[in-house]
Amino acid sequence: MTLDLEHQPDEAKMVFRCLCSEELHLVDAACQAPTRVVSQEGDGVLTFAIDRLGLHACTSHRSGLLRHFSLGEKVALVRSWRGHDQVVADVSFDTTGALVATGSVDQTAKVWDFQGYFCTHNFKGHAGIVTLVRFHPARLQLVTVANTEVRLWDLESSVCVAVLKDHLSSISSMCFGPVKSKLYQLVTGGRDQVVNVWNLEEKCSLVRSIPVFENVEGVVAIPTKRLRQQCKEAHSDCGPFSAWLREDEQPPPFVIFTVGNKGVVRAWNPLDGKAVASHDSPHAAKGELRQIHCLDASGGTKMVTVGEDMNLMIWSLPEFEVSSHIMGHNEEVVHVQLIPQITWPEEQADGSGTSPEIVAQRFVCIANDEHPRVVTCEGFGASLLRGHTDVVISCDVSPDGAWIATGGKDQSIRIWSSSTCQFACICAGHAGDVSALSFAKRRPRSVRAASQQEQLPMLLVSASQDKTMKIWELPSAKKLEQVLGQGLKVKKSKLTVIAHSKEVNDVLVSPNNKLIASGGQDKLVRIWKFPEGDMLGECKGHRRGVWCVAFSPIDQVVASASSDATIRLWNLKDFRAIRSFQGHSSAVLRVAFLANGMQLMSSSVDGLLKLWHIRTAECAATLEEHTSKVWCIDILGDRMVSGGADSKICVWRDSTLEVEKQRQDEKADLAIKDSRIGLLVREGKVEAALTLALELKRPGQMQQILLDHTMDMVGRTLFASAEGAPPVNNTVSGKSRTKRGMQRGRKGDRQKSSKDGTVAVAAEDAPNADIDLRRWVLSLTDPQLEQLVDMLEQWNSNRRMAPLAQMLFAILLLSVPATKLSSLEGMNATCGNVLSYAQRHMARIESLLQKTLVGVVAFFDVAVHAALKRTMDVLLGDTDEATNLRLEVSG
């Protein structure tokens, strides 16, 4: 992760700029969530710079191009240009935002006019990759770094003013330390474990070399004046750093903060080169640090560090303490659990109240490190639970949301306060990784019961890869609150049983606190009595290990998820399988009940989340947000959170009721609109009825309306359109339509049912009205025209509907301009399909005509030959035939 900060005058508008997965993310510090993303498809971002006002970004890409992005409400690409022969390693703006400096792998540094996109300076001289470029804050000078060498360039004369060489290894970072107005010193830190302070006046020289005894990854200089002012405003001593600021009679103009591979943040006095304060890294991944920056918007009283765990820590100065934490990249997310927040209603006179309101605004997140996080659902703000010495893999939250239990590969269980994130208790006794935890799940039903429960010891069930299950009796909630930060030690569990013959993967206490369910790699689900620990039965049927178990909130059943790609539902009375859910293509990792126990949600190695109807065992929905294994899900109320190996944490909201209400509203709206179609026809507004039927996708009603009201005048409309003049007398009145309808034998057929079950009103039922198909087609919008074209394409494939479709297509092609038709989506493919079917229809009609003409010719041929035969018989003297002929003629 590469981090930079916008220089905003208002701290509330501070924005972090983070490079993640070759995309530039702009994170609002207030809501701690990304607001905009700068990216270019197929060309990843390597480095970037943003001007002082935060309105423009200059990015370098893998293709070697530089790009200018506008950072308004929407990110927009302004210009792309090629800057160097090879890729750019660093980009930097000057204080005005008019110039941009770039350092490249081709060993050159260039300065660009950011408005004209042309190069103003091309500096050559370095013998290696130019990794850092920075403008002097007060002068027209540029500082460049390559390997162990620092060069100072004058922009007015375009010459190298100084070459600074003192580092013995590559320089990793640099910054400017303010001495006084328009006078700055250069601070550089390298992997030779040295920080150098340089004078940038006429004779550039080394002021002091400070050994820091670790590889320096980041360095920042913060003015001392503001820090001392903050110390005077504070009423109490906030630590050794604040004490040094108060007591030092001759303070330096600035303080240097460094971070490195040893995981310690140190503050240095540049005058004597001594460390004045240090703080152990709060980051995970062994605490290694990669970057440090000063938040200019805070006036130098806050800074931010980026660790190897790809998370951000915001520090408060002069307290020199972590004030907040923002999650970045999390590697694999192995466990998430929502923290309930209970709000009790006002107590009644008898001391009992109604059911409390339970919501979830935060959740516990466990990534592949030793620090669990308490994260807000609305952003990326988090608080760390620091104490474990190895990777944490299991977690549970107490029913009232006050306490968090975590277990990991250090074989210990720790209890934390969810509100303060302070350590309260530790349980040690397992001989293997703690793989699952579960508090007693029964919630108090009133405020009085909740206060009484705080006086009682808490029970916790744990399972481990040592094949055992333990029940722990923890101190009461009140006692734990008294020892926050100190931590009690529970040395022995209340009960220990060998739960399975192989590793235990999951354990869970039932909602009524009477049963425990456990699942293991031995393919079994076992049911235990709580808290006695007696085994009541086992559920056999899975062909591979069981990863998860879940109790129904309303029925006496338990669900299990297994590596055999199935979910099974077990009866707790006889421990037999009731139902099997099949649909995942690989191992099912988690399962949970929702919708008051009527549905199941499952997650799998295939990256899919599936929603199941318990009654029918059918999959109701498949969610494809994740791209890799979904290790964990948790559901509380209408909110669900999921995490997986793709580093994603997805927060979901159950919208079943809203979707159902929307479906009912849409159904009612469709019924109203369906009835309105018939009403419009009765009122004589046939064109409006056609438009409404088109919008509602009612082809049957459109067909009936067109047959009843327009077929007798389509020919005249086509003729007028082909001539290029307005159609003459091409409207049909209600009386004429009614008369012709009666002549066609449809007088008694007042209403006809369409294919979609609705009723179309016959033409004779409508009042006098005029309809012009050409006018109707021209009144349609582009989306409506696209719907009409799609419908006509379908009609044209039907032999019975083809004549109507061909005539409407003709009106459409003759009335609508070609430019407008060509802009319709899929028009080219539609025309090809229409022509293909038209040729088939034409061939069929020609064949019918040929067959009809053959029959007519045969009929006339037989008649002519019969008359000729009779005439010849008479001429040859056949009197009988002659008599018959006379009789026929006289008759």
Tell me the fold of 330-347+355-473: Methylamine Dehydrogenase; Chain H (2.130.10)
The Cα 115–Cα 843 span in angstroms is 65
Given this model, what pLDDT does residue 255 score?
A: 95
Given this model, what pLDDT does residue 690 score?
A: 83
> Please, what sign has the CA dihedral across residues 269, 275, 279, 280?
positive
Q: pLDDT tens across 571-607, in order?
A: 999 999 999 999 999 999 999 998 788 999 999 999 9
10 Å CB burial of residue 657 (0-12, 13-18, 19+) is exposed
Q: pLDDT tens across 436-477, in order?
A: 999 999 887 777 777 888 888 999 999 999 999 999 999 999
Cβ neighbours of residue 76 under 8 Å, at least 6 residues apart? Answer: 69, 70
Given this model, what pLDDT does residue 410 score?
A: 94
Name the E strands within 487-605: 488-490, 495-498, 504-509, 515-520, 525-529, 535-539, 546-551, 557-562, 566-571, 577-582, 588-594, 599-604
Query: Is pLDDT at 63 greater than 50 in this prediction?
Result: yes
**Considering only CA atoms, which of 604, 609, 562, 613 is closest in space to residue 585?**
604
Cβ contact 872:837 at 8 Å: no
Q: In which band, very low, low, confident or very high, does the pLDDT at 140 lie, cut at 50, 70 and 90?
A: very high
Q: Please provide residue 534's backbone torsions phi and psi, each rounded to the nearest 5 degrees.
A: -80, 135
Given this model, what pLDDT does residue 760 score?
A: 42
What is the signed CA dihedral for 330, 333, 334, 336, rounded to 10 degrees?
110
Given this model, what pLDDT does residue 554 score?
A: 92
Alpha carbon of residue 316 to chain centroid: 32
Given this model, what pLDDT does residue 331 score?
A: 80
Given this model, what pLDDT does residue 710 score?
A: 64
Query: Is pLDDT at 52 greater than 60 in this prediction?
Result: yes
Q: Which long-range contacts (CB under 8 A, 24 or more apart) does 82-87 make?
A: 83/110, 83/112, 83/119, 84/108, 84/110, 87/46, 87/60, 87/61, 87/62
Cβ neighbours of residue 378 under 8 Å, at least 6 residues apart? Answer: 31, 33, 361
Query: Is pLDDT at 340 greater than 70 in this prediction?
Result: yes
Q: In which band, very low, low, confident or very high, does the pLDDT at 806 lie, cut at 50, 70 and 90?
A: confident
Cβ contact 488:475 at 8 Å: yes
Cβ contact 115:98 at 8 Å: yes
The Cα 300–Cα 226 span in angstroms is 7
Q: In which band, very low, low, confident or very high, does the pLDDT at 237 lie, cut at 50, 70 and 90?
A: low
Find the largest Cα–Cα distance for the chain: 156
Given this model, what pLDDT does residue 162 score?
A: 95
**Considering only CA atoms, which of 16, 82, 76 is closest in space to residue 40?**
76
What is the signed CA dihedral for 612, 613, 617, 622, rounded to 10 degrees?
-30
Given this model, what pLDDT does residue 715 score?
A: 52
Given this model, what pLDDT does residue 239 score?
A: 80
Report cis status (omega within 30 of 0) of the bond before 399: no
**Considering only CA atoms, which of 158, 216, 214 is closest in space to residue 188?**
216
Across 241-245, 507-511, 776-780, which has the greatest mean pLDDT?
507-511
Q: pLDDT tens across 516-556, in order?
A: 999 999 999 999 999 999 999 999 999 999 999 999 999 99
Query: Is pLDDT at 487 greater than 60 in this prediction?
Result: yes
Relative to beta strand 264-268, strand 275-280 is antiparallel
Q: pLDDT tens across 81-135, in order?
A: 999 999 999 999 999 999 999 999 999 999 999 999 999 999 999 999 999 999 9
Query: Is pLDDT at 736 greater than 80 in this prediction?
Result: no
Taking residues 547-570, what's their average pLDDT? Answer: 96
Given this model, what pLDDT does residue 853 score?
A: 75
10 Å CB burial of residue 311 (0-12, 13-18, 19+) is buried
Report which secondary-structure segment, H or E, holds 854.
helix 827-875
Given this model, what pLDDT does residue 857 score?
A: 65
Given this model, what pLDDT does residue 354 score?
A: 64
The verdict on pTM exceeding 0.85 is no
829 or 738, greater pLDDT: 829
Q: pLDDT tens across 870-887, in order?
A: 655 655 555 454 445 444
Place of tokens 């959170």: 641
Given this model, what pLDDT does residue 666 score?
A: 82
Q: pLDDT tens across 657-681, in order?
A: 788 888 888 888 878 777 777 788 7
The Cα 427–Cα 407 span in angstroms is 9
Cβ neighbours of residue 182 under 8 Å, at least 6 residues apart? Answer: 138, 139
Read off the tokens for 47. Answer: 């480095």
Q: 169-327 domain in CATH 2.130.10.10?
A: yes
The Cα 78–Cα 76 span in angstroms is 6
Q: pLDDT tens across 195-216, in order?
A: 999 999 878 899 999 999 999 9
Report cis status (omega within 30 of 0) of the bond before 817: no
Q: Please provide residue 178's backbone torsions phi and psi, each rounded to the nearest 5 degrees.
A: -70, 125
How many residues in the chain? 891
Measured CA to CA in angstroms, residue 289 lies from 216, 217, 309, 322, 455 at distances of: 9, 7, 9, 14, 43
Render the burial of 744-776: b for 16+ CB within 10 Å, e for the rest. Answer: eebeeeeeeebeeebebbbbbebeebebbbbbb
Taking residues 615-619, what's their average pLDDT? Answer: 93
Query: Is pLDDT at 684 greater than 90 in this prediction?
Result: no
Q: How many CA atoms lie within 13 A of 37 on its CB side?
A: 10
Taking residues 798-825, what's their average pLDDT? Answer: 81
The CATH number, out of the four listed (2.130.10.10, 1.10.10.10, 1.10.10.60, 3.90.1150.10), of the domain defined by the range 499-629+649-654: 2.130.10.10
Given this model, what pLDDT does residue 6 score?
A: 45
Q: In which band, very low, low, confident or very high, does the pLDDT at 759 lie, cut at 50, 70 and 90?
A: very low
Q: Supply the DSSP string of 166-227, one letter for each residue.
A: --SS-EEEEEEEEEETTEEEEEEEETTSEEEEEE-SSS-EEEEEEE-SS-EEEEEEEEHHHH
Across 40-49, 480-489, 542-551, which has the greatest mean pLDDT?
542-551
Share of the chain above pLDDT 70, in %: 85
* 3-class DSSP assignment, residue 691: helix
Tell me how far apart the terminal alpha carbons of the chain are, to the nearest angstrom. 111
Q: How many CA atoms lie within 13 A of 749 on its CB side?
A: 13
Query: Is pLDDT at 46 greater than 80 in this prediction?
Result: yes
Place of tokens 């968090």: 404
Given this model, what pLDDT does residue 722 score?
A: 52
10 Å CB burial of residue 818 (0-12, 13-18, 19+) is exposed
Read off the tokens for 726. Answer: 């307005």
Given this model, what pLDDT does residue 871 score?
A: 56
**Considering only CA atoms, which of 241, 240, 287 is closest in space to residue 384?**
287
* 3-class DSSP assignment, residue 86: coil
The Cα 525–Cα 806 span in angstroms is 67
Cβ contact 569:612 at 8 Å: no
Q: What is the 3-state secondary structure (H, E, C) of 705-755?
A: HHHHHCCCCHHHHHHHHHHCCCCCCCCCCHHHHHHHHHHCCCCCCCEEECC
